Chains A and B, each alone.
Chain A
Amino acid sequence: MASVGAVERNGVTVTGPADAPAVLFAHGYGCDQTMWRHVTPAFTDRYRVVQFDHVGYGRSDLSAYTPERYSSLDAYAGDVLDIVHELDLRDVIFVGHSVSAMIGVLAANREPGRFARLVLVGPSPRYVDEPETGYVGGFSRAEVDDLLVSLEDNYLGWSAAMAPVIMGNPDRPELGAELTNSFCRTDPVVARQFARVTFLSDNRADLPHVPVPSLILQCSQDVIAPLAVGEYVHRHLPRSELVVLKATGHCPNLSAPGETVEAVTAYLGKP
């Protein structure tokens, strides 16, 4: 579809032995592949580690973005499959954070033969409560709308004021080097639509069809993906394992990388 290859379009980076099993890390909403920087070093000796940015984030090719194409999570799953094909990855271990957990579910359902296992960090198949069925996603529709307003409010601060602050960090040169690539660089237009697509999606029906075993990493006190949601995913996902981390918040890959690595390696070590 896009004229640019997926590797270029999604700013794909590949590290680790070429013949080792592939682990594909997918970042969640709000950031880019640098989110995994404290996690991936633990895998590069034994795995071929593949990371990428969703279109509109990090070093992706923003010109590939059109609101029409990226109007649902299917397009993002398609991008994942493009990467898998272009690098000819097989038996992929897919590690997806937040919304990318569901993107992994969609990709595995579309091409079951390419995936070996899924690791879902803070997954949620639906963020908005559904009172008529008693489903608890954690948010009312009004609250999600409030988020979308928050994004609007930070539009200026985010795109204009934030960048120089992020860049200027003379005290921490090693961070500065990394920052020249810019952290969590987000196109505000993409961010708004991605938020809408993410927080208004409903992928509950996709869970029972997942053809491969999966690990669910659930944080304690995660307002984005509460424990009840993690349990729901575990209940509806065949051959899934639920691990509740001590880590709080929504980003254990950043707040508790050690614990996260431990849980993932323990799972991958199992037969």
Chain B
Amino acid sequence: MTAAPPEELYDGAPCGLVSSRPDGTIEVVNRTLLGWLGYDRADLVGRRTFQSLLSTGGRIYYETHYSPLLLMQDEISEIAVDLQRRDGSRLPALVSSALRRDDAGSPLRIDTTVYGASSRRGYERELLAARQQAERSTSRLGLLQALVADLAGATDRDELIEVVVRAGREAFGARGSMLWLLDRPARELVRLGSVSPANDPLMRRSPLDADLPQSVAVRTNDLVVVSSQEDADARFPLIAGMMRDAGRHTLVFAPLAGDDGALGAVAFGFSADRAVDAADLALLRTLCRQAGQAFLRAALYEENVASRRRADFLALVSRRLDERAGLRDRAEALIGLLVPAVAEQAAVTLVDEAGEPLLRAGEPPDGARTRVTLPLRALGSLTLGFTAPVPPGTLQHLTEIADTAGLAFENARLYDRERDNARVLQRGLLAGDPPDDPRIAVATFYRSGVDDLEVGGDWYDAFAIGADTVALVIGDVVGRGIAAASAMGQVRSAIRALAASGARPGALLDRLDRFVDRFEAGRMATVAYAELDLQSGELRYACAGHLPPLLISPDGKAVLLWEGRSAPLATLTYAGGRDEAVTTMSAGSRLLLYTDGLVETRSGKLDDALARLVALAADRSVSDLDALLTQLVAELAGSSHADDVCLLGVDRLG
């Protein structure tokens, strides 16, 4: 066993050893380092500083980092630097130094070890490359996030196309890009976005089963990379020429991934100076997957907007048609809505229940390129004419329109029928003959509301009770239409029945109240009820919420009979015991009963209207009764009557 002498251990150590002055001037250097660097001892000792053996970058590093730290902490370890050999080549090394101080603490000497670090530096460089790779992927991640944000911000298809096409150029450094969406029924890819000189028809509309990389990308739902001109020549001769002309070195075709296969494809073309690596491909794939989702979302959004628009149109059809009264008006309104918004021409044919033509409206689309005839719910048909083929998905909407319109026609017809029924009913109810007695003359007037849409609940009645008494009635059942008319009929019959049983006005209304409470419609009504004794002229009357009767004396004095009042029928406020009043209707007097349609004014001031009624009636006390009624309606209600007007006039002749 032979131990190496210390000198040999130093000189032949498996690492470089240097001792230098504090300023770096080399005092001792071992054989190993001299051998590595190709210097003789005499070249370095006393002549060179250790830092002068470093490459320039290493030397700056030494001055700015290595030396300050060594001076501050007296040692520094494993710093990576390059030493420069005599022949100019470099020796990657890891260097450590210790600073020795004298007793006073002043720097005395620097001892340095140098380890060759080719393999370690290689390893570190790999780590460094990995870090740089990681940084690039961080920046890619940032890129992807920005793109995803852009995609999320785009609401319609065109904006999305713009984002994706632009991303290829700006974010990936592609020279050109193209985007196709798949037209499934046509089995072809339709190019919708492009930044590329290649404008071959095959690239604008690419058959799905063609040997084109975009078609392959969609069919396989996977990336297709054309990595060189040779690759294109061999695999995709259809695009090889275009690729050459455009000067592209690499082409990447990525599918726009949807839920159910690819929705389309995006192509990115790169020139030779932009190497496309695996990370780029992964990112492109991710981008296109995100873009595919965004396209699905946009399609859904556009579908939503369209269906909302369709729903709005249906609501409009329904509303506009309901605003019109008759079938013809509704048919015209429908055609007005459809032309030209939906179709170029439209015609409506309606038939009656026997299938006989009832009504025709619009222009039959005889010369149209496309004609669509749709049923209007068994009432007829709607025929539409178009100058172009009907876009897919439109037919469903047209069917809905026809159905909505059909419903409106059906309602109109039902409505017309109900109105007719109500009118017949009302006329029947009003048509009872007034009592035929030489001691009185009776006149009546009835006019329904201006819109003529529904009959009202106004009625009058005059009938004999025994030999010398006549009952005079006027009333108003709240509401309109057939229900009000039938309620009115019931009240009218009840009054006749009660009067026949001998009830006097107050008691009659009292009992009528109980009847109204019980009967099904339970409607509020106002009634003025009077009994005239044809012998004495005694007038006994009661008003349940109704306007006061007007009594006009032979001398032309008109008085409103404000006595005998109580609440309307079927109101909860009534607590029983209705008032009645008595006055005398002298011979030659005139009594007027009326409903509120006569005195309802736009200003709503009932007192003013009643005052005018009193004045007019007094003024025309000599008028013929029938003429007076007509004059009063003309003067007071005018032609702008919204409500029914009903009058009953009685002259006591003597």
Contacts and interface: CB of A to CB of B under 8 A. Distances in A.
A166 B56 contact: no
Contacts of B74: 172, 175
A156 B67 contact: no
Interface in A113-166: 139, 143-158, 161-162, 165-166
Given A179-B73, A221-B23, A150 B128 contact: no
A29 B68 contact: no
Contact of B57 (A143, A165, A172): A143
Contacts of A154: 61, 65, 79-80
Contacts of A37: 72
Interface stretch (A16-24, A204-212, A247-255): A247-255
Interface in B53-89: 55-61, 63-65, 67-69, 71-82
Nearest to A250: B63
A184 B68 contact: yes
B56 A146 contact: yes
A161 B64 CA distance: 18
Interface string B114-140: 000000010011011001000000000
B58 A223 contact: no
A169 interface: yes
Contact of A224 (B64, B75, B107): B64
Q: Chain B: interface residue count, which band?
A: 35 or more
Contact of A223 (B63, B79, B94): B63
A214 interface: no
Contacts of A153: 80-81, 121, 124-125, 128
Contacts of B72: 34-35, 37, 183-184, 254
Given A154-B80, A157-B78, A157-B79, A249 B128 contact: no
A254 B78 contact: no
Nearest to A171: B74
A248 B22 CA distance: 9
Contacts of A166: 69, 73
B360 to A, nearest CB: 75
Contacts of A144: 57
A134 to B, nearest CB: 21
A98 interface: yes
Interface string A213-229: 00000000111100000
B68 A30 contact: yes
A31 B80 contact: no
A184 B78 contact: no
B345 interface: no
* B interface secondary structure, majority: helix
B212 to A, nearest CB: 44
A255 B128 contact: no
A230 interface: no
Contact of A30 (B65, B76, B128): B65
Nearest to A150: B57
B378 to A, nearest CB: 74
Contact of B68 (A150, A161, A169, A254): A254
Contacts of A249: 23-24, 63, 67
Given A153-B124, A224-B64, A255 B107 contact: yes
Contacts of B107: 255
A28 to B, nearest CB: 7
A255 B71 contact: yes
A98 B64 contact: yes
B290 interface: no
A145 B73 CA distance: 29
A152 B131 CA distance: 11
Contacts of A172: 73-74
B61 A250 contact: no
Interface in A21-50: 28-31, 34-35, 37
A153 B78 CA distance: 12
Contact of B63 (A34, A169, A224): A224
Given A34-B72, A254-B68, A254-B72, A156 B124 contact: yes
B55 A156 contact: no
B69 A183 contact: yes
Given A156-B124, A255-B107, A147 B68 contact: no
B51 interface: yes
Interface string B463-489: 000000000000000000000000000
24 contacts: A28-B64, A31-B68, A35-B72, A148-B57, A150-B58, A153-B80, A154-B61, A154-B65, A156-B127, A157-B124, A158-B65, A161-B78, A165-B75, A165-B77, A166-B69, A169-B73, A175-B74, A184-B65, A199-B60, A223-B51, A249-B23, A249-B24, A251-B71, A254-B71
Closest 4 CB pairs of A and B: A146-B57, A30-B64, A147-B57, A143-B56
